[in-house]
Amino acid sequence: MTQTRQLFGTDGIRGVAGEFPLTRDSVYLIGRALGHDLARTNARARVVIGQDTRESSGWIADRLWQGLATVGVEVRSAGVITTPGVAYLASSQKFDAGVVISASHNPWTDNGIKVFSGDGYKLPDAHELAIEKEIFTLLKDADALPGADSTPVIASLPGEAELRQAYVRWLAGSVATDLSRLRVAVDCANGAAAAEAPELFRALKIETAFLHCAPDGQNINESCGALHPETVARFVSENQGKFDLGVTFDGDADRALFSDAAGRVVNGDAVLLLAAREMQARGTLANATVVATTMSNMGLELALKRSGIRMLRANVGDKYVLEEMQRAGATLGGEQSGHILFRDGEATTGDGLLTALRVMEIMVHSGKTLIELVGDLKVLPQVIRNVRVREKTPFAQIPAVQTAIRDAERELDGVGRVVVRYSGTETLARVMIEAESKEQMERLAESIVAAIRSALGA
């Protein structure tokens, strides 16, 4: 039977900063466990570490560094940098691993630890489980923690500017098109993108207005960024005629969402569609296949089919999209939330900055506006409802929930979809319904939500 990971979710270890598993002691032991794991293949392992702008990211990075250092791992810090920036550095500069301190789109009070292997890819579940076992072993060992005076004072900030600049140079060098005619509004979510986006857009001579680019440790994702794409869309709309598009990143900038020139939100499904067609025309869309997730709208599947492109669905989480891409030999995949994975180049994970550049290049090459590129994407009405739960009991073990799901599927009769799953990063159940009408969609969603809340409500 497959063992369940207790610490690692769909995007690393995540929780409230200062509470287990992100206490000073547990973070130190996570560093030691990761160091032991790396030492099995390289006694002189090297790790690059980066972080987002949360006020807790500094001490978590420092404490993790201490744990790594005690087992002989050499650590270099890139300071505040995007998650894909760390993945790129791990791969391009031959580190044995890359570690990111971030909780992505979560509130500032949360934080997390994400690990990339030396090839720039996220660790497979089995590898994360092996590290977990070592962490729990160390937690039981009273001698695993050092005395207060025996650990060196380590400061991961500001980190090495050259590491950050290497990432920006790579991104800028990936662009073979003059983007200087574009006028773009960019929402950095007061997160990691604030450290690299201004330099990148300046290097490419793009006329840019930056929003939420002044992090203070507590304002990351606050009414801005990819969690609130309507914010940049509203700014573009209020400045009608001044911008060709808006771009918005999440806290660690591994995803991006967009606004067209009229202030309409353009999500990850639409980006997959326009990217798929462009790559198909260039002959780089391997196997005429796109990998999306269970949350992508049926309208995307139909639009791709009209272009002779098949769509496969993976579980939610960009690491699972990547695994399905590798199985299918696909070069494009992603999520409705804005994680887009391009495997026709050097990228190994979703990268919001790279996605923004690719979208802008497609606009310039085609001579079309963003809305013209995806104008035929007709989405079924879709709602996603989140329910706070006290525990993640398998839905198959809750008869009332199973009944509500079966009743909804029977009523939809193939014209629409039902997806009910737990969040991989929060104690939430997510209910997604697609239906022909908004009324039907809302009614069916509420029926399932009520059943979950009755059985598991926090």
Q: Known catalytic residues?
A: 104
Residue 27: both structure tokens together: 């973070």
The DSSP element (H or E) to which 47 belongs, if any, is strand 46-51
Alpha-carbon distance of 47 to 159, in angstroms, equals 13
For residue 375, what are the contacts with CB-CB under 8 A and spacing of at least 6?
none
65: closest CA among 80, 50, 53, 83?
Answer: 50
For residue 366, what are the contacts with CB-CB under 8 A and spacing of at least 6?
278, 373
Yes or no: say if 228 and 254 are a contact pair by the CB < 8 Å rule.
no
Classify burial at 176, counting beta carbons within 10 Å of its beta carbon; exposed 0-12, middle 13-18, buried 19 or more: exposed
Tokens 């806290």 map to which residue?
251
Alpha-carbon distance of 367 to 357, in angstroms, equals 15
Residue 10: both structure tokens together: 């769909």
Residue 11: both structure tokens together: 């995007």
Phi, psi of 293 (to 5 degrees): -125, 180
Strand partners, 211: 187
119: closest CA among 272, 326, 372, 414?
Answer: 326
Residue 365: both structure tokens together: 């090459």
